[in-house]
Amino acid sequence: MPDTPALTPVKTTAPVATPAKTEAPDSPPADNSAPVASPAKTPVLTLVFGVCSAVLLIVAIVLWIQVGARDRTMIQKQNRVDQVLADTVVLQAQVDGAKAATVLLQKKMDETKAESIQVKADLDKTRAGAAVLQAQLEKTRATSADFQTQMEEAKVASLKHQGEVELAQAQTAVMQTQANEAKAAAVQLQTQLDASKVLTADLQEKLRTAEAKIVQLQKPPAKK
């Protein structure tokens, strides 16, 4: 913008009284007022307007920066809230999974305990059956020994009583048959006893397996 020349204000001086002169009637009256220049207001207004504009611009920039910082802070807070909510959801899912796993482990433990109790009952029942079979075997052996003794006595009696040989032989044959039956029964009972022992060993193995499962399930799960 071209420089505007500065105007100097003109001082107005009061007119000095002069002696009155005789003026010609035809001459116009003298104009004693001199032209006065107006003060320079345009540069001052421009400067004030520029300063105000600069101040408003600075205020607008500061407000814009503050609004941007506030928005960034709000976004960061919202992101943190979202992250916390997401972590809460994940933790809740982990808690629910742990509860479900605990319920499943408790169910398995209850099933294993029930199975262990059933195995113990079966083992006790098998042991009782084995004891009964053992008693029957001992009784059968005693009966077989008694038959054998009677057979020997019958043989001795047959030797002593030749007249009663046929009867003694018949008794001997009957006793021999009974002895054979007793031996067969003893063999059958021995087989049953062996099977009972095998079943007892199997049940004892199952019991040990069930007790091992119970011990393993009672251990706390390893933390991840």
Residue 224: predicted pLDDT: 54
Q: Is the C-alpha dihedral spanning 36, 40, 42, 44 positive or negative?
A: negative
Q: What average pLDDT does range 73-85 have in this prediction?
A: 92
Quote the longest CA-to-CA distance of the chain.
222
Rg of the chain's alpha carbons, rounded to an integer?
A: 66
Q: Which residue pairs from 54-60 have beta carbons closer than 8 angstroms and sit at least 24 positions apart in sequence?
A: none
Residue 183's nearest CA partner among 147, 154, 151 is 147
Structure tokens at 28: 């116009």
Site of tokens 């607008």: 60
Q: How far apart are CA 154 and CA 147, in angstroms?
A: 10
Question: What are the residue ranges spanned by the domains of the chain?
Answer: 47-218
pLDDT for 33 equals 46
Contact 151, 119 (CB under 8 A): no
Let me know if domain 47-218 sits in CATH 1.10.287.
yes
Q: Higher-confidence residue: 171 or 26?
A: 171
pLDDT given at position 130: 86
Burial class of residue 164, CB neighbours in 10 A (0-12, 13-18, 19+): middle
- 9: closest CA among 49, 39, 42? 39
Alpha-carbon gap, residue 202 to 126, rounded angstroms = 11
Q: What is the pLDDT of residue 223?
A: 58
The more confidently predicted of residues 157 and 130 is 130
Tell me 19's DSSP state.
Answer: -
Summarize pLDDT for 181-190 with one digit per residue, the tens.
888 988 989 9
The pLDDT, as a whole number, for residue 75 is: 93
Least Cα distance to 150 among 175, 185, 117 occurs for 175
Q: Tell me, what's the pLDDT at 16?
A: 40
pTM metric for this prediction: 0.40
Phi-psi region of 220 (alpha: psi -120 to 50; beta: other; left: phi over 0): beta
Q: What is the pLDDT of residues 8-59, one digit of tens each?
A: 443 344 344 444 344 444 444 444 444 444 445 678 888 888 899 999 999 9
Position 140, amino acid? T
> Mean pLDDT, to the nearest integer, of 107-132?
87
Give 53-80 as a DSSP string: HHHHHHHHHHHHHHHHHHHHHHHHHHHH
